[in-house]
Amino acid sequence: MELEIRKLTPDLMNDYLHFFDHIAFTDHQEWSGCYCVAHHIHNERFLEDLPKGSLAIGRDYAIDFIKHGKLQGYLAYNSGEVVGWCNVNDRQNYESLEAWKELPGWKEVLSDWQKRIKSIMCFVIAPHMRGKGIATTMLGRICDDSLAEGCEFVEAYPYEGEQNTYNCTGHVAMYEKQGFTTLQKVEHLLVMRKHFGNK
């Protein structure tokens, strides 16, 4: 497998849409309307509609967010086909993180909101390509780019305990191998960070 990782830019929008139109959730159609925009939108009606497969709503949001830079991340290609996606951007782009401030312990995490922090929200790997290390490869690229861009650290929010299809946040062990440490536990989530030595 020759994996190529590319940053999502507006000129790659059609590749992104094709992945979510036809590949990403073929084994779980109930999530096919997300288009990985849910964390960018704190809208109860939209979130309620997602499990119903409201394709047009999520797709339209994705197109708009990609055009304006709110939806950023990395696409993984194998032989010219998109086989993976990671949603990662500056933390201020995620309305869900702001909304989580009501969770016990979350205010402490948000206390350094103004720092340059990259937040990793979701990994989506094509069903037929899972278990091949694609997410790990993408994570390495994310950390390298975040350091080069001057970020103070990269932050991720994996679920504690057993992973399942609905936990697209990445495995704790994967982050630990890349040098992430746990800052704290906020209900069912771990807040993990990789600090850069020159910060």
Looking at residue 156, its pLDDT comes to 95
The pLDDT of residue 177 is above 70: yes
User: pLDDT tens digit string along 105-153?
Assistant: 777 777 766 678 899 999 999 999 999 999 999 999 999 999 999 998 9
The fraction of the chain above a pLDDT of 90, given in percent, is 56
Domain map (residue ranges) of the chain: 3-195
CATH number of 3-195: 3.40.630.30
Looking at residue 22, its pLDDT comes to 94
Longest dimension (CA), the chain: 46
pTM above 0.85, yes or no: yes
Higher-pLDDT residue of 48 and 124 is 124
Looking at residue 49, its pLDDT comes to 60
Mean per-residue pLDDT for 74-97?
A: 94
Both tokens of 35, joined, read 């288009």
The pLDDT of residue 100 is above 50: yes
The pLDDT of residue 159 is above 50: yes
Both tokens of 66, joined, read 């990609």
Cβ proximity of 177 and 142 under 8 Å: no
* Mean pLDDT value across the chain: 87
Geometric angle at alpha carbon 159, from 153 and 165, rounded to 5°: 120
Mean per-residue pLDDT for 6-28?
A: 94
Polymer length in residues for the chain: 199
Most confident of 38-52, 92-106, 127-141: 127-141
Strand spans (E) along the chain: 3-7, 73-78, 81-90, 117-125, 153-156, 181-186, 189-195
Residue 116: exposed, middle, or buried by beta-carbon count in 10 A (0-12, 13-18, 19+)? middle
User: pLDDT tens digit string along 30-41?
Assistant: 778 889 998 888
User: CA–CA separation, 145 vs 131, rounded Å?
Assistant: 24
Mean per-residue pLDDT for 76-94?
A: 95
The pLDDT of residue 193 is above 60: yes
Give the least confident one: 5-14, 43-52, 132-141, 165-174.
Answer: 43-52
